[in-house]
Each structure stands twice: as C-alpha cells, then as structure tokens.
Structure 1
Amino acid sequence: MGSWRVRQLDCPAKPCTGLSNPGCPQINPESQPAWRLFAEPRNLHAVFSKVKSMAVKQSEQYQLVIRSLSDRLVEAQAPIRVLDAIKWDDGLRETFFRNQCQSLPAVDADYYASRPLGFDPAERLQLFQDIERDITRQLGTFNPVGQIMRRMCREYRMVIRMLEGRGTAEFGRISQELYGSASDAFHAGDPTITDLGIMLSESLSNIGNDLGREPKTISAADAVDILQARMNEAFPDDQAVRVFESDGIVADAAAGADYIKIRSDALFNQRDLNILAVHEGMVHVATSLNGQHQPICTFLAKGPPSSTVTQEGLAILMEVITFNSYPARLRKLTNRTRAIQLAESGADFLEVFRFYQGEGYSDEDSYTNASRVFRGSSANGLPFTKDLAYLKGFILTYNYIQLAVRQGKLQQIPLLFCGKTTLEDMRTLGQLVEEGLVVPPRYLPAPFADLNALSAWMCFSGFLTKLSLDRIEADYANIL
C-alpha cells in the first residue's frame, strides 16, 4: 500500500541513541503509548480509488444477486392464475335458472378437477421451496429484501395448496389465512370487518334512493372508447395502456399489467366509467407499470395475496378522494362483505343468492354476486374471502396515510405506488429507495403527486376522529 514510518510524538528517551535505546518502540513494544503509527501511502488517491472500485463492484454484485432471485420469483408465479382456476362456467348458471333458482349449483372437487390448473402443483411447490432456500443462502436470514421475497414464496405455496383444495373445506380455510376473515378486527379492541359492514349498511339505508340512480346505458364497446381516451390522456405516449372487450371475466372490468378488460355484455353509466378510470387505470395499472420499471426488485410488478388488501384499499381510497365514489358503489362493496360473513356463518349459495335479491338486485346480478362468494369452494362451503380486501384495505391504507402525515413522513406516501406493495413492507421499501434498490414510482395520480391537499385533509381528519358522533348528534338535534 505504501511506506510505513514511525512518527515521534513525545519520546521519553532523548536524545535517541538508536536501536540500543530501550525506550525506542522498535526495541521495546511496552513503550508504545509514547508513539503513534501512521500509514502514509505514497499515492493516497490511488488507494481510495481502489477501495471505491471494490465497493462499487460489491454493490453491483449484490444488486445482481437480488435481481436474479427476484426474476426467478416472478417467473415461478407466472402460470398461477387464481381467478381463472376458480371461476364457474356458464353451464352452472344455465342449470341454476332452469331449475327455477331452487337448487344448489353442482360444484364440488370433481367439478374443479375437470378444469386443469395449467401447471404441475408438486413441481411448482418445489420450485418455490428451492427459490426460498437460495434466497437464504445468498442473502442471509435477516436481509430485508430477502425477507420480503421469502414471504412471497411462502404465500405462493399457500396459493397452490388452496387451488389444490378447490371444492373442499381446505380451500376456504387457506383463503382465510391469505385474505382474512370477516370476523377479523382492524386493531386490538377495535371493531371487526363485519362491524364495518353493518355500520355502513345502516348509514346507506338512511340515504336510501334520495340521490336517485343513474341508468346504465353505455355499452361495452362505447365504454372501451371512453376509457381508452382517458388512459391516453393519463399515461404518456411511450406507455400505451390498452382497453378492450372480453367475455372471459366475471366482474364488469379487470386490470392487467398494461391493459383494462371490459366484460362484453356489461352496461355502464358515466359514474361507473369514472370509477373504472381511477380504480383500474390510475391505481392497478399504474402500480403494475411502476413495478415493471423496477430495475432490481422486479418482484414488485407482481401482487401476492398480502398485497391485495393494500392495492384494493388504495384503489377505493382513490375513488373517494377524487370524489368519484357514490352510495350505490359503497353499497356494492358493503354487500360483498356481508355476503362473505353470511357464508362464514354457514349460509349456502341459495341463502346468499336470496340475500342479494332482498337487497334489490336482479336474479341475474344476484347469481353473479353469490357466485363471487363461493367461487373455488362448494355451494355450501366456506367462501373465497378475497373481496374483504376492499373495505379492509381502505381503512388500513387510510390510517397509514393519516399517520404518515401526523409524523411528518410524507416521503413514504408516494411509495405506495412503486409496485404491488404491502403495508407491512413500507418502512423497508423506504430504506431500499435510499439504498438505490427500489426506484420511486414513475406514474402517480394527481392527489399523490402533489400531497398538499391530501395532507390538509388528513390533518383535519385526525382531529375529527377525536369527536364523539353521538354527542354531535345530540347537540345538532335542533338544527338538523
């Protein structure tokens, strides 16, 4: 590295008589406290450059390891299509109505066995096990990126086991592990998701039809044209987002990595399209694209079950803060929660179907909504609980943003859009941005690109939560 030289600070033996002097540290190490050693390289800049170069190479190698493991995880989950694997075919609907809506759909394990998954479950389970093992081998036990990817591996293995249990009680039990149950509390001592559904239903019943209902007169073809124009306006020219019709989905619309599918036989009104533009386009498509733009943590482009609550909650929050939500939309989400609670309490398909009829839905819509609850399960089994994510996610995501504002951590809020994020990972993602392993989101909807209005709202909201609505209602009795 360079020449080492002894520099005298305060020699007790003066004058120095050379190596025969016992006070010299070169002869007697015990006299060392009187001396200090300094490294004086001939070329300090060259040494620092070499050290820096080694650090850069180590950093690049570390990033390559993460990217390689992340890409393996993304590739491994590619053939898993949960919604395709659990949907009911049109034959079940036709038989149900041919029987005058009086018989349970004939859905059991044998029915699903005739609908192949498109992958070998045993092979895929082993693949995720191998990836998880390699993550620990290459990144260690406590590496934050490794912890996220290992959890994703475990979740995907649970998803595979859930799909293997289609039509059995095991399907519903694993669904509750992955997506939660209607009886889950938000926090210790807080109300449950069921309680939220009941409270919202009471509030919505007071509104009734006072605001009227806008008829659905826009065809799927026209909806495609309208939404395509909205997407062209929202996203830059170098990032095309396609909108097209599809007859293979249960919902009115669904988002993919860079597209929005519209069910070909669905009808819409303008409010519906405003919701779809915000919910599917500004959130689901945007977070997918932001995940695809991650240069290292590519796994952020894919959403495991744990991200569902955050992503759907973020989408519902966007509907609300952009003033695009409305009572009929909220009633739809609330009824999904109530229907799942009924099924978890023992109600079968017919009872849930009649629940929707009692809420004013047509027979066709009642069947569609009830089939969402029991898809993947049997007609009298435990429900598929994914639809709890909407209301549950809204509450949890709203609370997170409110606390971020209160604690002055505004930089954390836009990171919700850096990919298919999960709330429990947000602190880690903030650290990964600082390390350069995660890049900030490229596409942000206006309320999150400029946090002024959202921050002001949350400041007021934080105070309003401390007021007693019962006391307010009593005080306002004479003026309302």
Structure 2
Amino acid sequence: MTLSTTSRPYHQIIRDLSDRIVLAQTPIRVLDAVKWDEGVRSTFLEGGGRRLPPVDRAYYESRPLAFDPVAKKLEFQNIERDITRQLGQFNPVGGIMRRMCKEYRMVIRMLEARGTADFGLISQELYGAASDAFHAGDPTLADLGLMLSDYLNNIDGRGDLKDEPKTLNASDAVALLRERLGQVFGEGEGAIRVFESDGIVADAAAGADYIKVRADALFNERDVRALEVHEGLVHVGTTLNGLNQPICTFLSKGPPSSTVTQEGLAILMEVIAFASYPSRLRKLTNRTRAIHMAEEGADFLDVHRFFLDQGYNLEDAYGNASRVFRGSAPDGLPFTKDLSYLKGFIMIYNYIQLAVRKGKLEQIPLLFCGKTTLEDMRTLRQLVDEGLVVPPKYLPPQFRDLNALSAWMCFSNFLNHLSLDRIEADYANIL
C-alpha cells in the first residue's frame, strides 16, 4: 500500500503506536500462565479422582509470569497516554487502541491474581459470566446451555447420529489438514504449518501461521473438517489478515474482547460448513454448564463428577474440569474463557442477521480483517474507507460470496417472528 506524502505522518503515527501495542503484548500468554502441569494431573488420577488437585496461590507463585507485571502495566499505561497525546481523545482508531491497552492491563491484573478470588472476578469482567443475559429479558448463557442439552437429549438415542469411529491418528489428521489448507492459503514458503505437538490440552490449537495437533489424539473425518474451518479458516485466517495490515498492525493480536468474536465466527463456520455435529455441540454446552456450576459454588470434584456423568472417563473428565478451574483454585471461581464459544456464536449470528436486514452486507466480511470485536465494526468500516485498514485477503467461501448467507438470513429474520410454541401446537397431529 502506497502512502501519500500528506497522509504519511498521520498513518505513521498510527503504525508506530500500533506496533508498540503488538510488541508490548508479546510475552503475555494467558493460557500458558494459567494451565496446570502434568504433576497436578498425575497426582489427581493416581488418587482415583477423590481429592482436590493440589493447586493454590503458592502453586502459581512457584510458576512466575514471563514478564514483570508492574513494568508491563506501566508500559501499557504509557502507550495509552501517548495515543491520546498524539491522536486526541476522540480519534476512532485511537479509541480502539486505548481500549486494547486497558484490556491488557486488566489481563495482567487477572494473571497477578492467579489462585485467588479476584482471578475469577476479573475473568468475568473480561470474558463474561454464565449468568449474563444477551439482552434485557432474554435467557442467559446458562439457560442456553440447559436448553441445548435438552434438545441434544431428545436426539441422543438415535443410532444414525452416533459419531463415526475415530480411526485417524495425529499424523493422518496433519496430512489431511495440510492438503486442505494448502488449497486455501497456498503451499510452499509462507504456507500454514501443520504439525504434531505434545503438551496441549485441546485436540488442536492454532498459532499465528500454524496449527498444532495433539500427538496422542484420535480423529474421524468430521473432526478434521471441523478443525479445518475452525482453526484454519477462522483462527489462522484472521491472524494472517491481521498481519497483512500495513498500518493497524494491532489487528493481528487479539485481546479478550476479540475472543468472543473469534470463537463465535469459528462455531458459526462449523455450522454453515456442515462441519458440526451433536457431540461437538454437547462438548460446548457441557463447558458452559460446568462454568455455571462453578459460579454457583461447585468445586473441582463436583465438576469432575458432572463430566463423568456425561460419559467421560476419569482422565478426560479431569481434562475438561481443569479447563474450568485453570488459573483459579479447585474450589474457587472459574476461568470463564470457554463461554466465548456459545456467547460468540449468538452475538455473531445476530450481527449478521441485522447487517442483512439493514442492507449493510459490506460489513460482514470485515469480521475477518483481523482479531476484531463487534463493538469496533462500524469504526472498522470507516477505517477501510480511509485506507487505514485493508479488507481481508483470506475469506472462507461462505463469506466471499454472500448470496447463500444473505438468503439464509432473510428467511431467518422472518422465522424469528413466528411463535415456536404455537407452531408446535399446530403441528402436533403431523409430527
């Protein structure tokens, strides 16, 4: 992108401030800072899952952060001060960057509070709580989790909806993902790297330009398809689009507020690409229900027992329960990041619905221009018009051609006005 002589100083100021945010956040790795080590896991399993994991404030203090939290908070404070000094109080892109600085300071305060009640309280501020409503009078996330569980229970006994056997090992999954993602992002130098990895909790995890697959995990074809769209097309795709930004480089990095958008887009992509399935959805609802249990006072053993009741074995139930309490104490408030999946899906779905209703289709692909947040979408449209943000280079097919998505949302807007209870009564004799 060529900057004119007259625009270069303003653009360069934004680029310099943006680069400072990217550099400042580099050592902040939330999931690395809150995860429990193998010793905690083995001790719990060796005890038959009958005692709370030995995790407390002292446990986290023995695992210091990879940065000086006091100095890092001051660094973000100084960047925020310089944003206001150099761009003014009401500059749109300055407003986004100032909010990012505030969020990162809050993240640092959360990590400083590992093992205390404040950790869970700050987590709720950053990621939300299961008791949060979407709108006044609407059901909460906890209500949504229970509602979806009821629907899943109604279809659970059907033999034709059982998961296919997991016959693909990590090497098989890596080969398939390399081939499929190569068709989207290219091959050779600069291509997305896909490789096996030990030491990750999830079956797979995405980085800036890579996807790592847990070495001992097993998959079926549907699992690999979900990883392709979730980790590849969304998480890696939006990172690469952010790295492609010549001025607003901060779009390559995501503070907690972007997590809701990221995971919401990823789950939406699974649905519209027909890559999701009932057991995948149950995994997400179980996470939401488990977080709500912990918010209501359940401890690690209660949550572990919940996952056992859901059909998990002792080891897998531990893995799921530890996601809820990582960063916290086994009898403390939960780490609420995993609410982002269902919460984000609903919020992104509603946003796209409204964009179609109002005829603002050009807004929808901008969700992929980097690690975005919904509250910034109007500003991002303005920044694209000003040449400060470039449209996304990598887009899933469903968002590159909006014909089918728009048609679906037009019907959906109408169907939202129908009473499902009345329909159920009317259809009673035919269903």
The alignment's TM-score, normalised by the length of structure 1, stands at 0.88
1:315 to 266, 270, 273: 266
Which amino acid is 2:339 matched to? L
Higher mean C-alpha deviation, range 62-71 or range 231-240: 231-240
Q: Is 2:146 the partner of 1:213?
A: no
For the aligned residues, what is the CA RMSD?
A: 1.0
Secondary structure of the residue that 2:194 maps to in structure 1? strand
2:147 to 199, 213, 225: 199
Which amino acid is 1:167 matched to? G
1:369 to 309, 317, 320: 320
Q: Distance in 1 between matches of 2:379 and 2:308?
A: 46
Q: Distance in 1 between matches of 2:373 and 2:201?
A: 26
1:461 to 385, 391, 412: 412
Q: Is 2:195 the partner of 1:227?
A: no
How many residues align structurally?
426
Q: Distance in 2 between matches of 1:58 and 1:134?
A: 22
Q: Is 2:285 the partner of 1:334?
A: yes
- Structural mapping, 1:47-126, within 5 Å: 56-126=4-74
Higher mean C-alpha deviation, range 106-115 or range 378-387: 106-115
Q: Distance in 1 between matches of 2:19 and 2:230?
A: 28
Which amino acid is 2:172 matched to? D
Which amino acid is 1:57 matched to? T
Secondary structure of the residue that 1:260 maps to in structure 2? strand
Q: Distance in 1 between matches of 2:193 and 2:67?
A: 28
Question: Equivalent residue for 2:335?
Answer: 384
| Regions of 4+ moved over 2 Å | 55-58, 236-239
1:246 to 186, 197, 221: 197
Higher relative contact order (CA 8 A, sep 6+): 2
Q: Deviations over 1:191-213 (max 9, x none)?
A: 11111111101100001141122
| Per-residue deviation, 1:250 | 0.8
Q: Distance in 1 between matches of 2:242 and 2:39?
A: 38
Q: Is 2:138 the partner of 1:174?
A: no
| Per-residue deviation, 1:417 | 0.3
Q: Distance in 2 between matches of 1:360 and 1:279?
A: 25
| Per-residue deviation, 1:234 | 1.6
Q: Distance in 2 between matches of 1:215 and 1:331?
A: 17
Question: Equivalent residue for 1:347?
Answer: 298
Which amino acid is 2:148 matched to? L
Which amino acid is 1:122 matched to? V
Q: Percent identity?
A: 73
Q: Distance in 2 between matches of 1:216 and 1:370?
A: 23
Q: Distance in 1 between matches of 2:4 and 2:396?
A: 35
Question: Equivalent residue for 1:302?
Answer: 253
Q: Distance in 1 between matches of 2:278 and 2:54?
A: 35
1:155 to 95, 103, 118: 103
> Larger C-alpha radius of gyration, 1 or 2?
1
Secondary structure of the residue that 1:57 maps to in structure 2? coil
Q: Deviations over 1:332-371 (max 9, x none)?
A: 0000000000000000000000000111111111000000
Which amino acid is 1:81 matched to? R
Q: Distance in 2 between matches of 1:213 and 1:400?
A: 32
Question: Equivalent residue for 2:222?
Answer: 271
Secondary structure of the residue that 1:79 maps to in structure 2? coil
Question: Equivalent residue for 1:421?
Answer: 372
| Per-residue deviation, 1:388 | 0.2
Q: Is 2:423 the partner of 1:472?
A: yes
Which amino acid is 2:366 matched to? L
Secondary structure of the residue that 1:254 maps to in structure 2? strand
| Per-residue deviation, 1:56 | 4.6
Q: Distance in 2 between matches of 1:134 and 1:60?
A: 18
The alignment's TM-score, normalised by the length of structure 2, stands at 0.98
1:396 to 344, 347, 352: 347
Which amino acid is 2:420 matched to? L
Which amino acid is 1:231 matched to? L
| Per-residue deviation, 1:239 | 3.6
Q: Is 2:97 the partner of 1:146?
A: no
Question: Equivalent residue for 1:446?
Answer: 397
Q: Distance in 1 between matches of 2:354 and 2:313?
A: 42
Q: Distance in 1 between matches of 2:4 and 2:318?
A: 59
| Per-residue deviation, 1:264 | 1.0
Q: Deviations over 1:2-42 (max 9, x none)?
A: xxxxxxxxxxxxxxxxxxxxxxxxxxxxxxxxxxxxxxxxx
1:184 to 126, 132, 153: 132
Secondary structure of the residue that 2:5 maps to in structure 1? helix
Q: Distance in 1 between matches of 2:227 and 2:4?
A: 45
Question: Equivalent residue for 1:6?
Answer: none
Q: Distance in 1 between matches of 2:101 and 2:372?
A: 15
| Per-residue deviation, 1:269 | 1.1
Q: Is 2:357 the partner of 1:406?
A: yes
Question: Equivalent residue for 1:256?
Answer: 207
Secondary structure of the residue that 1:337 maps to in structure 2? helix
Secondary structure of the residue that 2:213 maps to in structure 1? strand
Higher mean C-alpha deviation, range 114-123 or range 434-443: 114-123
| Per-residue deviation, 1:452 | 0.1
Which amino acid is 2:198 matched to? D
